[in-house]
Structure 1
Amino acid sequence: MTVPPARGPSSLLFPSLPCAAGVRPLPRETTLSFVERLASRFGVSAADVIAEFFASGNRKPMSSLTADGEVYFNAEARARFATLSRVPPEHLRRALPSWTRFEPAGRYDTGPAVTFYSVGSISPTGTACTRCSAARTGRSDPARLYMAAHQRLCVRHQMWLPGTQDVPDQNSGRSQLSLAQLPETVQALGRHTALLRRREHAADAYTVAQAIIATWWDAARPEETAWARRLDSLARANPAAEHWSRAARDAVTYPDTVTLAGLLASPFWQHQVLADTGRHRPHVPADTPSFIRELALRLGRPWLAGVLADSDSGPLTAWLQACWRSRAGERERTVSMWRVAPAYRTPASSGCNPDRPSRTAGTADEAEADAGGDTAQGFARGLALARTFAAEHGHLCIPYRHEKDGFQLGLWLSNQRATGPQ
């Protein structure tokens, strides 16, 4: 098969290589971010560079390239970019997590190939600290890094680094939030890193805790004064902080999220959930009184125990039920207690395995969970529909495939019978 020749660095678009010298990748930088910074030295865009290097059959349409996504190169393409950037391939492999993680295949048998993925299909990314980047590169070009939850804070400059989706303008110099007046947020990083060392599922617990805290933030209860005080301090140091409400929320609630994650990741308190319920399924947080009292105590909010006792839905209820189903992680072949339901999932918690882009939106276990009532909201709806059916028909012999108002009532009832109190 004839392969159309791909244009290389000798093209008119790149008349000289020395001007690219000095562009070095940052640790944990996305490949697309590095390509953008490299292209800026030539005065062109990343799309121009990619279009110049690859035959049209060996790349997706350029409309698939998004500014907050990622690009993956095959071996020949990586060699071309190493030559263009004048960075040794081994240095690129160490600095760029996705440099060799995924091998795209073009329509041709040979030649450089590239593929694009959107931000929702890759691991979470965030904006690099502009002052750290300038110190490393000598330029103020914006950069994006792969960021775990504990890497969202630059301790050296006391800056909160928003996630890629938190920033409306990737090129805005105001995308960093100063934490100069929030010492408790900076101090929480030490507790977070210690938790990650001590607990096996600490990273997963933080994701669940973040979803729980987000629902409390949206409730905006008058008793919650600590967050209001922190938000005022953040606003004074960052006049434009209101433009990134999600980033501001994460920075303000970070100490409490770390504290809650420590409780969720504790094997003792996971088993206490089972002890509180007598190993029966909890339907509301009030079914686990010892757990919610400990939660309120650790967060320093005595009033929270009463609020949670009166609630009947949300990601906390979903976690309590998942903890019971898995018997505090001891029972196999159950939906993981660390899964966050799509309704409560935030962009920061929807990242995928960095080793490979995701290809599906969920698993079979997730689909079954969402269909049947693995959240308190699903249980409440299923219970109401079951009562209505019983009142109309005088029994609950519901066919397995029976649906009511789009709810799979037969499947839900079958699941309740299979996983009921034991």
Structure 2
Amino acid sequence: MVTRTDPLAPGSGEAAAGTVTTFNAFARFAATAPPTPPEPGQAPRPLEERLAYHSQFVTVRTPAIEALARQVRTLMILGQHQRVTARPSLIVTGPATTGKTTATRLAAAYHLTATQLLDGLHITATGTSAAPPATEIHLSNEATRRLSDFTRIPPAHLARALPRRPPPAAIGMAHAAIARWQPVQPAVQPVPACTACTARRSPHKPVPAWIHPAPDLPRAMICTRHQQASSDPRHPTPLDIRTVPELTHARLTTRRPPTAASLSWATTITTRWYDHHQHLHQRWHTRLRRLTTANPHIPQDPASPTLTCRNLITYPETLTLATALDRLPPHSLPRTQQTAFLHHLASRLQLPHLAPADHDLLWQRLTTR
């Protein structure tokens, strides 16, 4: 004789595993991989397994399901940034066997990736997406318009967030909504943006953001308002520079950016001085120690802070040298004027004297014009 047992009490572990009325149960339900049909040529499954497969209501990507997925994604994005009025939502209701479970499975797509967002806007994306700042995305004019309309970001503001380099001709001249992921070389990758600035512009909390440094200044982002700076994409967050106020002072006192040629020469010269411990080594070593002490989160691998912080450490002197090189005449200087220039530059750099060797890049810049 078979004795009938009472159903499990509400809230028990067994009951929670088979229902989606609680958050934890729904999370398990959404994360569970859907059942897969047998592969071609595979032996037929037993009757019990076939019935179990059909009873799990496998989701098929039909046009109706695609439309529902886009609607859900749109509502979730709009609701995520809504602060004043009620958040837009989607209620799934209806009689039994009308697809409520099928629609619920789509909730796993609520956490959108960039690829999912482009797909929801019917933007065809090519290339391989990677975590920023290793890749950047190029959009055609139509794709940019759709993204601007959907996010309600003015085109001018959106253009500031997109790559500065012009897109390939196949993308820029296309009339269709096309996007392409492009790898970015480390030398031109964006750097972490100021977290305080992003928090002020974000509706909820600081979010990781990347910014391209100003092209007419040494390669570094310096926020003089919040005392944050970054110069290397390998830093996960910007650095606190309150212990090195000379960085902020150098940024604030730059009235006119140097020319590209002088900035290139100055960056190359100060980099060589830094790597070979010349002229300003003691000052830069002290600055590096203060910066790393105030920012213990700086990664030590795969590159040490000595390398990843180099552009920040040499930032004031690079600007000073570039400004001085801008004042040189287009012709070669006689020996007396070379000595006068070095004396003036030493004063600007707060050095007692400056006597570069023949192989020093600064001396080569003065003698080969």
Query: Which TM class, normalised by the smaller chain length?
Result: 0.5 to 0.7
Distance 1:130 1:154, change over 3 A: same
Choose the corresponding residue for 1:233, options 286, 290, 309: 290
Shift of 1:7: 12
The 2-side partners of 1:51 and 1:222 are apart by 55
Choose the corresponding residue for 1:245, options 293, 297, 306: 306
The 1-side partners of 2:223 and 2:177 are apart by 37
Q: What amino acid is the match of 1:293? A: H
- Which digits, 9 at most, give the CA deviation of each residue in 1:387-420, with x for residues without a partner? xxxxxxxxxxxxxxxxxxxxxxxxxxxxxxxxxx
The 1-side partners of 2:349 and 2:164 are apart by 41
The 2-side partners of 1:143 and 1:159 are apart by 14
Contact kept, 8 Å, 1:104 with 1:115, in 2: the verdict is no
- Which digits, 9 at most, give the CA deviation of each residue in 1:281-308, with x for residues without a partner? xxxxxx9444333332321223531xx1
Shift of 1:121: 9.4
The secondary structure found in structure 1 opposite 2:332 is helix
The secondary structure found in structure 2 opposite 1:160 is strand
Contact kept, 8 Å, 1:104 with 1:114, in 2: the verdict is no
Shift of 1:261: 1.2
The 2-side partners of 1:143 and 1:64 are apart by 15
The 2-side partners of 1:129 and 1:62 are apart by 27
* Count of residue correspondences: 271
Contact kept, 8 Å, 2:127 with 2:181, in 1: the verdict is no
Superposed counterparts of 1:18-417, under 5 Å:
18-21=75-78, 42-50=110-118, 59-62=125-128, 67-89=133-155, 91-93=157-159, 95-96=160-161, 98=163, 102=167, 105=170, 111-120=176-185, 125-137=190-202, 138-148=204-214, 149=217, 152-164=221-233, 166-167=234-235, 172=236, 175-192=237-254, 194-196=255-257, 201=259, 203-221=260-278, 224-241=281-298, 243=300, 244-266=305-327, 269-270=328-329, 274-276=332-334, 288-305=338-355, 308=356, 310-314=357-361, 316-317=362-363, 319-320=365-366, 324=369
**Percentage of identical aligned residues:** 23
- Greater C-alpha radius of gyration: 2
- Which digits, 9 at most, give the CA deviation of each residue in 1:83-116, with x for residues without a partner? 43243546534x435499547536x986321123
Contact kept, 8 Å, 1:127 with 1:161, in 2: the verdict is yes
Contact kept, 8 Å, 1:72 with 1:99, in 2: the verdict is no
The 1-side partners of 2:310 and 2:165 are apart by 35
Contact kept, 8 Å, 1:70 with 1:122, in 2: the verdict is no
Distance 1:8 1:290, change over 3 A: farther
The 2-side partners of 1:99 and 1:88 are apart by 17
The 2-side partners of 1:214 and 1:240 are apart by 24
Q: What amino acid is the match of 1:220? A: H
Distance 1:42 1:188, change over 3 A: farther
Contact kept, 8 Å, 1:82 with 1:88, in 2: the verdict is yes
TM-score computed with the length of structure 2 as normaliser = 0.60
Distance 1:229 1:87, change over 3 A: closer
Name the residue aligned to 1:398: none
Distance 1:139 1:74, change over 3 A: same
Contact kept, 8 Å, 1:104 with 1:113, in 2: the verdict is no
- Which digits, 9 at most, give the CA deviation of each residue in 1:183-203, with x for residues without a partner? 1221111222x132xx6x2x5
Name the residue aligned to 1:400: none
Distance 1:53 1:293, change over 3 A: same
Shift of 1:153: 0.7
Distance 1:260 1:89, change over 3 A: closer
Name the residue aligned to 1:345: none
Q: What amino acid is the match of 1:225? A: Q
Contact kept, 8 Å, 2:244 with 2:291, in 1: the verdict is yes
Q: What amino acid is the match of 1:73? A: L
Contact kept, 8 Å, 1:14 with 1:42, in 2: the verdict is no
Task: Considering Cα pairs closer than 8 Å and 6+ residues apart, tell me whether 1 or 2 has the greater RCO.
Answer: 1
Contact kept, 8 Å, 2:230 with 2:312, in 1: the verdict is no
The 2-side partners of 1:11 and 1:301 are apart by 69
Across the aligned residues of Structure 1 and Structure 2, the Cα RMSD in angstroms comes to 4.0
Contact kept, 8 Å, 2:73 with 2:110, in 1: the verdict is no
Shift of 1:227: 1.5
Shift of 1:154: 0.8
The secondary structure found in structure 1 opposite 2:170 is coil
- Which digits, 9 at most, give the CA deviation of each residue in 1:361-399, with x for residues without a partner? xxxxxxxxxxxxxxxxxxxxxxxxxxxxxxxxxxxxxxx
The 2-side partners of 1:139 and 1:10 are apart by 31
Contact kept, 8 Å, 1:191 with 1:258, in 2: the verdict is no
Contact kept, 8 Å, 2:127 with 2:182, in 1: the verdict is no
Distance 1:54 1:66, change over 3 A: farther
Q: What amino acid is the match of 2:241? A: L
Structure 1: which 5+ residue stretches go unaligned?
1-5, 25-40, 279-286, 325-422
Q: What amino acid is the match of 1:157? A: H
Name the residue aligned to 1:344: none
